[in-house]
Structure 1
Amino acid sequence: MSKAIFLDRDGVINKEHGYVHCVDDFEYVEGVFEACLELKKLGYKLVVVTNQSGIARGLYSEDDFHTLTEWMDWNFADKGVDLDGIYYCPHHPTKGIGEYLQDCDCRKPKPGMLNSAAQFLKLDLSASVMVGDKASDMQAAKAAGINTRILVKTGHALTEADMLDATIVLDSIADVPAFLMK
């Protein structure tokens, strides 16, 4: 069984600008490539798990998401970082349109994406780590049995309630490798 770092996308990998869906609006968080390279050296698989309610709301299509994701994946590969998995939820339980209006098990704070990745990639969730920027990331990780839950400050403004299920709060993903090496 392998261990993984689960990464939320918006607010962790890229700056949170609200419903980011095209290359022109995608701005990487400083130090993300270097941090991910270090995490790979520490023996972690890297898995992106992202809610994409903009698809459910009709703001952009799944094709738009896939185009941006492919571009992002190539950016990581160009920096020597291979992402081991990218999982997304296109649903929303109350604001979705058509087939996207559903209360699914993949939308964080539910653990569906993490469980799917664990099954497919043969991951030990108890040895894995979640890096997210909001409470729903921490709640999904806790529900999946992930013991190390890192909340970063590069996304949404954090409240005390957001921090309840986090193991630690760090400034950004750039601080994660040093924390895990302690």
Structure 2
Amino acid sequence: MTFDAVLFDRDGTLIRDVPYNGDPRLVEPLPGARELLDRLRTTGVRTGVVSNQSGIGRGLLSRTQVDAVNARVEALLGRFGTWQVCPHHPEDGCPCRKPEPGLVLAACAALGVAPERTAVVGDIEADVRAALAAGAHPIMVPTPVTRPEEVDRAPTVAADLHEVLALVTDNGVRTGGAKP
């Protein structure tokens, strides 16, 4: 299978996770992020970001600060076709906050792609569950904060972003609980 789009979680997936970051100067791309995105873009695969930003709902960040961080991400990693951000507090019960499918579905609509032809790359189970709920293909890239049981439950796991590139460009995602 080939993908029309690949959606990414922001923190811990594309950039180093700085909790509730509102400072663009702290944005640091993770190894392989630029190469992966450049390769996808040159092959015509659409890209987007789907990110929970509960710091807004918690009153720790403003939307302006989140937008400034996102602008810095684009300055370092290139332009994305869509940014879908959930600003809600985890207890708000909104349909967009991952693991709900709202962000993934909104990103697919904005990019004009079907969820079933979309991969979603993230570092925690909420990313995986959002992808599955939307009908997309999840790829987990664990970090030191990813719980082992989340990795065990993920249908597809990549060791790093370099492996993600192989998964999404080498005849699509290998399924069946592939683990690094």
Q: Deviations over 1:76-109 (max 9, x none)?
A: 23xxxx3111110010143xxxxxxx21111000
How far, CA to CA, are the matches of 2:39 and 2:95 in structure 1?
A: 31
2:148 is aligned to 159
Query: How many corresponding residue pairs?
Result: 168
1:113 is aligned to 103
2:35 is aligned to 34
1:83 is aligned to 80
**Letter aligned with residue 84 of structure 1:** G
For residue 148 of structure 2, give the secondary structure of its aligned residue in structure 1: coil
1:97 is aligned to none
How far, CA to CA, are the matches of 1:69 and 1:155 in structure 2?
A: 23
Structure 1 residues 43 and 154 mapped into 2: Cα distance closer, same or farther (>3 Å)? Answer: farther
Give yes or no for contact 2:7–2:48 (8 Å, CA) kept in 1.
yes
**Letter aligned with residue 38 of structure 2:** L
Give yes or no for contact 2:21–2:69 (8 Å, CA) kept in 1.
no
**Letter aligned with residue 42 of structure 2:** K
2:7 is aligned to 6
Give yes or no for contact 1:16–1:156 (8 Å, CA) kept in 2.
no
Structure 1 unaligned residues grouped into runs of 5+? 95-101
- Confirm whether residue 60 of structure 1 aligns to residue 61 of structure 2: yes
Give yes or no for contact 2:29–2:77 (8 Å, CA) kept in 1.
no
Higher RCO by CA contacts (8 Å cutoff, separation 6 or greater): 1
2:46 is aligned to 45
For residue 114 of structure 1, give the secondary structure of its aligned residue in structure 2: helix
Large movers: runs of 4+ above 6 Å: none
**Letter aligned with residue 164 of structure 2:** V
State the TM-score, normalized to the length of structure 2: 0.86
2:112 is aligned to 122
How far, CA to CA, are the matches of 1:24 and 1:144 in structure 2?
A: 33
2:134 is aligned to 144
Q: CA deviation at 1:57?
A: 1.0
Give yes or no for contact 2:27–2:72 (8 Å, CA) kept in 1.
no
Give % identity: 32
Deviates more, 1:149-158 or 1:51-60: 149-158
**Letter aligned with residue 161 of structure 2:** I
Q: CA deviation at 1:119?
A: 1.9
How far, CA to CA, are the matches of 2:144 and 2:64 in structure 1?
A: 25
For residue 37 of structure 1, give the secondary structure of its aligned residue in structure 2: helix
Q: Deviations over 1:16-64 (max 9, x none)?
A: 2322221232221011000111122343110100000111111111111
State the TM-score, normalized to the length of structure 1: 0.85
For residue 47 of structure 1, give the secondary structure of its aligned residue in structure 2: strand
Structure 2 unaligned residues grouped into runs of 5+? 171-180
1:99 is aligned to none
How far, CA to CA, are the matches of 1:108 and 1:180 in structure 2?
A: 22
